Amino acid sequence: MGIKKLLIANRGEIACRVISTARRMGIRTVAVYSDADRDAQHVRMADEPVYIGPSAAQESYLNIDSLIAAIRLTGADAVHPGYGFLSENAAFVEAVEGAGAVFVGPPASAIRAMGLKDAAKASMAEAGVPVVPGYHGADQSPEVLAHQAAEIGYPVMIKARAGGGGKGMRHVTRPEDFLQALEGAQREGEASFGDPSVLIEKFITHPRHIEVQVFADNQGNFVHLYERDCSLQRRHQKVIEEAPAPGMTPELRAHLGDIALRAARAVNYVGAGTVEFIVDGSGPLRADGCWFMEMNTRLQVEHPVTEAITGIDLVEWQLNVAAGLPLPLEQADIPLSGHAMEARIYAEDVPKGFLPATGRCSQVAFPPGASFAHGDIRIDSGVAQGDEISAWYDPMIAKLITHGDTREAALLRLTRALEDTRIVGPTTNVTFLHQLASLSAFETGAVHTGLIENHLDALTQESEPDAASWALAALTMLDLLQAQPLRGWRAWGQARYVCHLLHGDQSVEIGVTDAGESGYIVDESRYIVEMRDDARILVSQDGGPGRSYRVHRDKETVTVFSQSKALVFKQRAQGGQAEAAAGDARIMAPMPGVIKAVSCTVGDHVETGAPLIVMEAMKMEHTLLAPKDGVISSVTVVPGAQVSDNAVLIEFEETQDD
Active site residues: 298
CA-to-CA separations, 583 to 317, 360, 580, 611, 629, in angstroms, rounded: 62, 34, 8, 20, 11
Residue 9 corresponds to which amino acid? A
CA-to-CA separations, 20 to 17, 290, 315, in angstroms, rounded: 5, 36, 10
3-class DSSP state of 434: helix
Strand extents, DSSP E, 555-619: 557-562, 565-571, 586-588, 593-598, 605-606, 611-617
Q: Using CA atoms, how far apart are residues 372 and 355, in angstroms rounded to an integer? A: 28
Q: How many CB atoms lie within 10 A of CB 100?
A: 11
Q: Using CA atoms, how far apart are residues 443 and 407, in angstroms rounded to an integer? A: 9
Give the residue ranges of DSSP H helices in 60-116: 64-74, 90-98, 108-115
Q: Using CA atoms, how far apart are residues 560 and 549, in angstroms rounded to an integer? A: 7
CA-to-CA separations, 415 to 33, 379, 401, 418, 447, in angstroms, rounded: 34, 14, 11, 5, 17
Q: Using CA atoms, how far apart are residues 235 and 297, in angstroms rounded to an integer? A: 22
C-alpha R_g of the chain: 27
For 474-493, give the DSSP string.
HHHHTT-SS--TTTT--TTS
Q: Using CA atoms, how far apart are residues 493 and 514, in angstroms rounded to an integer? A: 10
151 — phi, psi (to 5°)?
-65, -40
Nearest to 158 by CA among 122, 211, 197: 197
Q: Using CA atoms, how far apart are residues 364 and 462, in angstroms rounded to an integer? A: 22
- Find how far residue 402's CA is from the centre of its chain: 17
Q: Which helix (H) or strand (E) holds 233?
A: strand 222-234
> SS in 3 state form for 514-567?
ECHHHCEEECCEEEEEEECCCCCEEEEECCCCCEEEEEEEECCEEEEEECCEEE
Q: Using CA atoms, how far apart are residues 390 and 397, in angstroms rounded to an integer? A: 11
